[in-house]
Structure 1
Amino acid sequence: MKAIRIDEFGGTEVLKLVNIDRPIPENDEILVKVYSSSVNPVDCTMRNGGNEILRPFLKLPMILGCDVAGIVEEVGSEVTNFKKGDAVYGCPNFPGDGSYAEFVAAKSNRFAIKPSNISFNHAAAVPLTSLVAWEGIFELGKLEKGQKILIQGASGGVGSFAVQIAKAKGAYVIGVASTDNVEYLKQLGCDEVFDYKSQDFENILKNIDLVFDASPIRNDIDRLKSVKVLKNGGIFVSVNVDYPFSEIVNEEMDNKNVIGKMVAGQNHANLSEIAELISENKVNVFVSKVFPLEQVAEAHKESETWHVRGKLVLEVRKEI
């Protein structure tokens, strides 16, 4: 099968198209015929050799790719939740043994039935980012109907899902993004939108129940702004697990009795509920651009601009 593999860490030049053996599923795994994958910022991080958290787990050679949508080709002897021919989506393996390939084998509990109302390309844009958003907002952030949530980086892959799932559950949603994305966030369902280039939300907002930070920016200045707008006893959740809360940020959170948490998004059981929201058209999937598998380097370059609206998708094979 064809796959994109890296044999060394580095820039986009290390992404090589190779022919390798098709994986064989274990007893608790399924083999998926891959139609689509997607590009996440973490893929670029792993390609570069990882960060302090990821580096110990990265082993070469490695196939990148955290998201997949495709059709079940084989099922292991212990698998009861899927059968050959099922259309599925999920996060197969992390890190390594990923989905930049024509086939991928992974544990069946990392998948769910694909929403029938969207294409494989759109389904591949969902898993990792939506799981991070769901876990951060509901499992760690404890968001409830009627509460106020501020979402930083609201126009990106994680942020776009965060806005929609928070709104679908009845929250009051406030998004922060650049000027070019203000109207986009209103279309997603934001009740208020702040342009970080021209508006100081930290001087306007207060008593926010939850701040969900899905921005790629890693600095204490922005984190202190988030703490400032939270209510006493509020929750601050960040997706940037590689950038721990500093002493000064922890001190400010302590002063306001704010709980700070990091989210990785590994509860794959949430994929079924996310699929239900998509099937009910309560959550839409926004794909910025689709690249053929062979153009993965171009997709990585675009991802590394940090200005992608929605998701970038790799089309492994055409949907019939």
Structure 2
Amino acid sequence: MKAFIINKYTKGGLQLAAIPTPTVGENEVLVEVYAAGLNVLDSKIKTGEFKLILPYKLPLILGHDVAGIITQVGENVTKFKVGDEIYSRPADHHIGTFADYISINEKDVALKPKNLTMEEAASIPLVALTAWQALVEHADLKEGQKVFIQAGSGGVGTIAIQLAKHLGATVATTASTKSFELLKRLGADVLIDYKTQDFETMLKDYHVVLNSQDTKTLKKSIKILKPEGQVISISGPPTHEFADEMGLPWYLKAVLSLISFGIRRKAKKRDVDFYFLFMKASGSQLEKITKLIEADIIKPVVDKIYPFEQTNEALKYVESGRAKGKVVIKVK
């Protein structure tokens, strides 16, 4: 089969290669890939930025989002059958959606929403699971609360805004003014132009912050929270609790504890909870997200669709930071 791989960590492009079709484990399904979503995470893994906490063996097929059709099932698979249209965010160390086929554990798979195309479905899993795990699983966001979602026009932002509004929260977000109309349609209540306005002077007494920006922005975000508020960061710094969750060795736990010490201390001083979120694959959570999609509560936001052969161009566009919503490659 064809796949885009890296043989070494690089800032350059991926290599198109012919490799064997993956075998199917007893708890896995073989998926013919119709579309794959691209994420900043793909770029960070490609350059080696995450090699300490995600030590992949090379060569490696990149890609964390998939929509496609099951062509084979393992002997212990009970939830799916050949011919099912599915979508998934494969688990860490089992990624590889920039390819013709991928084998995925059935626990990480869900049936594709009936009202989405393959390309729309491929845009959903990683960002929707991130939003779900941040706002529902960790923050337990409630009706009447206030949440600040940074970078509202990004992949996570566009889904998180819709989910937060469904949960009954008041939503503030940052973006450029050219994205304001889109974000109003998605449900944003407070729109802040990051180029000319400072959210720190405009927001106060918020219950939750979803941080996806740099450390400077994270420090400012802590100041807008109520006592006992929560800042959930998907951009770091990782903590020693994260090291425990990932089963990392003691020395990495010590390093991450040191790296995150300043932020954790600042949060503690203001009686704020700081949590670093590295989302996990979950077919059961995707099933819940599917219900919201089929009820038109959450809608995909797809900026561009590239043909499979232009995967490198698609990844460059993601790395540019200009995408509104998600970028997808069409494989079939």
TM-score by length of 2: 0.90
Contact conserved, 1:63 with 1:96, CA < 8 A, in 2? Answer: no
SS of residue paired to 1:146:
coil
The match for 1:310 is 325
User: Is residue 298 of structure 2 the alignment partner of residue 283 of structure 1?
Assistant: yes
Greater shift in the superposed pair: 190-199 or 92-101: 92-101
Closer, same or farther in 2 for the Cα pair 1:110/1:34, shift >3 Å? same
Contact conserved, 2:231 with 2:273, CA < 8 A, in 1? Answer: yes
Greater shift in the superposed pair: 248-257 or 189-198: 248-257
Which of the numbers 168, 171, 179 marks the counterpart of 1:170?
168
- Which letter maps to 1:218? D
Provide the C-alpha distance between the structure 1 equivalents of 2:10 and 2:104, rounded to a whole number of angstroms: 26
Greater shift in the superposed pair: 4-13 or 126-135: 4-13
The match for 1:228 is 223
Which of the numbers 69, 81, 84 marks the counterpart of 2:82?
84
Closer, same or farther in 2 for the Cα pair 1:170/1:23, shift >3 Å? same
Which of the numbers 230, 233, 237 marks the counterpart of 2:232?
237
Greater shift in the superposed pair: 115-124 or 172-181: 172-181
User: Is residue 311 of structure 2 the alignment partner of residue 296 of structure 1?
Assistant: yes
The match for 2:207 is 209
Contact conserved, 2:232 with 2:276, CA < 8 A, in 1? Answer: yes
Closer, same or farther in 2 for the Cα pair 1:43/1:116, shift >3 Å? same
The match for 1:264 is 278
Which of the numbers 93, 103, 106 marks the counterpart of 2:104?
106
Q: CA offset at residue 155 of structure 1?
A: 1.0
User: Is residue 269 of structure 2 the alignment partner of residue 255 of structure 1?
Assistant: yes
Which of the numbers 92, 95, 119 marks the counterpart of 1:94?
92
Deviation per residue, 1:183-233 (Å, 9 max, x gap): 22112111111111112221121110100113xx322x2112111110011
The match for 2:44 is 45
The match for 1:27 is 26
Q: CA offset at residue 292 of structure 1?
A: 1.0
- Which letter maps to 1:186? K
Closer, same or farther in 2 for the Cα pair 1:254/1:209, shift >3 Å? same
Q: How does 1:64-213 map to 2 (within 5 A)?
A: 64-95=62-93, 97-213=95-211
TM-score by length of 1: 0.93
Contact conserved, 2:64 with 2:95, CA < 8 A, in 1? Answer: no
Closer, same or farther in 2 for the Cα pair 1:52/1:93, shift >3 Å? closer
- Which letter maps to 1:3? A
The match for 2:17 is 18
Q: Which has more helix, going by share of residues?
A: 2
- Which letter maps to 1:301? K
Structure 1 unmatched runs, 5+: none
The match for 2:256 is none
- Which letter maps to 1:295? Q
Aligned residues: 312
Q: CA offset at residue 247 of structure 1?
A: 3.9
Structure 2 unmatched runs, 5+: 240-258
Deviation per residue, 1:229-288 (Å, 9 max, x gap): 100110000001355574443233112210000111215121001111110001110111
Contact conserved, 1:12 with 1:297, CA < 8 A, in 2? Answer: no
Contact conserved, 1:33 with 1:102, CA < 8 A, in 2? Answer: yes
Q: CA offset at residue 179 of structure 1?
A: 2.6
Greater shift in the superposed pair: 189-198 or 65-74: 189-198
Provide the C-alpha distance between the structure 2 equivalents of 1:200 and 1:9, rounded to a whole number of angstroms: 37
Identity of counterpart residues, as a percentage? 37
Deviation per residue, 1:64-90 (Å, 9 max, x gap): 000100011111110000011111000
Q: CA offset at residue 305 of structure 1?
A: 1.0
Contact conserved, 1:50 with 1:58, CA < 8 A, in 2? Answer: no
Provide the C-alpha distance between the structure 1 equivalents of 2:48 and 2:266, rounded to a whole number of angstroms: 33
Q: CA offset at residue 153 of structure 1?
A: 1.3
- Which letter maps to 1:315? K
Provide the C-alpha distance between the structure 2 equivalents of 1:279 and 1:10, rounded to a whole number of angstroms: 39
Greater shift in the superposed pair: 40-49 or 246-255: 246-255
